[in-house]
Amino acid sequence: MNEFELIEQCFAPLAGPEGLRLKDDTALYTPRDNCDLLITTDAFVEGVHFPSGMYGADVAERLLRTNLSDIAAKGGTPRGYLLSVTMHSEHMEKWLPAFAKGLETTQAEFGCTLWGGDTTATETQAVFSITLIGDVPKGQMVKRKGAALGDDVWVSGVLGDAMLGCHLAINQQISPAPNGQDLFSFENAYWRPEPSVRFQDILRKFATAAADISDGLLADAAHITAGEIGCATLNFDALPFSMGAENWAEAQDDPISARVDLASFGDDYGVVFTAHPSHRQVIFDVARDRKLKLTLVGSILPGSGSACVDVEGQIMPWPKTGYRHI
């Protein structure tokens, strides 16, 4: 199969009407009335963002989901995406059908379609880049900046399951070995992070600022305060971990430091957001009604940046950043 046949077989079935069957030079999209567009781009590089030799469907799901996470964290709804593929010509025929399958599953789940792309055969490492377009009711994008002193800081999902999933992907094991259920949820957290599409309305209504957790909780919390408004001060004991991750941490030589690792690794793709304390109860109520894991982890206090404090209010030592590539 040549490149054109591969595109026809793998990618054309994923195209929405906006993609004009991938036969034209541009996509054609008629924006909805009274909406702003949200546009994001993220690239995955083999050996940097995912280990070589990974299954194509996993890589595709993770790539599309990380982009979806950016749109969802801003209160938006995903609509369509363009895909740029650069990979070794010899691997294309074997690898791309599974990659396309991963895109298909994910776009069906989140209601977006493929609008266009570009494929290049090369001799070295693979690079996949997605540009995702979503929309939001006009003027309602939840920006990174907007938090105020005294705001609550919330986190969705759990922290660190993705870290353990990443370790499993690279080393094929972690110690202690997780049971089947934990193994599945760690791998799932890494390969299929959950974009926050089930409470965009809540973000739009109550969040004063939001970002998805890609770089690590404290790094992303600091993005929200932008070092200006105050210090996103998080209570270590309030941080949400899964039971499996708690068990893993407890079995380490230094369980506290293990929990810090879980919370600082990044790649969780939950949302960290701020809201006025007067909305605390309604957010708890929505979380309970929709069975969402939303945790109140701290508040914006005088100061700058972000910090994590222990039960005595002492600032805990924390890894400098933030996002580490594999």
Strands (E) in 46-180, as ranges, are 77-88, 113-122, 127-137, 152-156
Least separation in angstroms between residue 72's CB and its own copies is: 10
Q: For its own copies, which stretch binds (CB under 8 A), given 109-117, 179-187, 281-289, 305-313?
A: 109-117
With respect to its own copies, which residue has the nearer C-beta, 86 or 106?
86
In one-letter notation, the amino acid at residue 176 is P
- What backbone phi and psi angles, to 5 degrees, belong to 33? -65, 145
Peptide bond into 317 cis (omega under 30): no
Verify binding: residue 49, its own copies, rule CB under 8 A.
Answer: yes
- What backbone phi and psi angles, to 5 degrees, belong to 313? 80, 10
Which position among 8, 16, 20, 198 is part of the footprint of its own copies (CB under 8 A)? 20
Verify binding: residue 108, its own copies, rule CB under 8 A.
Answer: no
> Inter-axis angle of helices 180-191 and 56-73, to 10 degrees?
70
Distance CA 320, CA 210 (A): 21
Verify binding: residue 290, its own copies, rule CB under 8 A.
Answer: no
With respect to its own copies, which residue has the nearer C-beta, 1 or 251?
1
Residues contacting its own copies: total by CB under 8 A: 57
Which position among 77, 86, 264, 306 is part of the footprint of its own copies (CB under 8 A)? 86
Size of the chain in residues: 326
Residues 27/123, Cβ–Cβ less than 8 Å: no
Which position among 45, 98, 292, 316 is part of the footprint of its own copies (CB under 8 A)? 45
Which residues of this chain interact with its own copies, rule CB under 8 A? 20, 23-31, 35-43, 45, 47-49, 70-71, 73-74, 76, 82-84, 86, 115-118, 120-125, 127, 129, 131, 133-134, 138, 141, 143-145, 211-212, 223, 226, 325
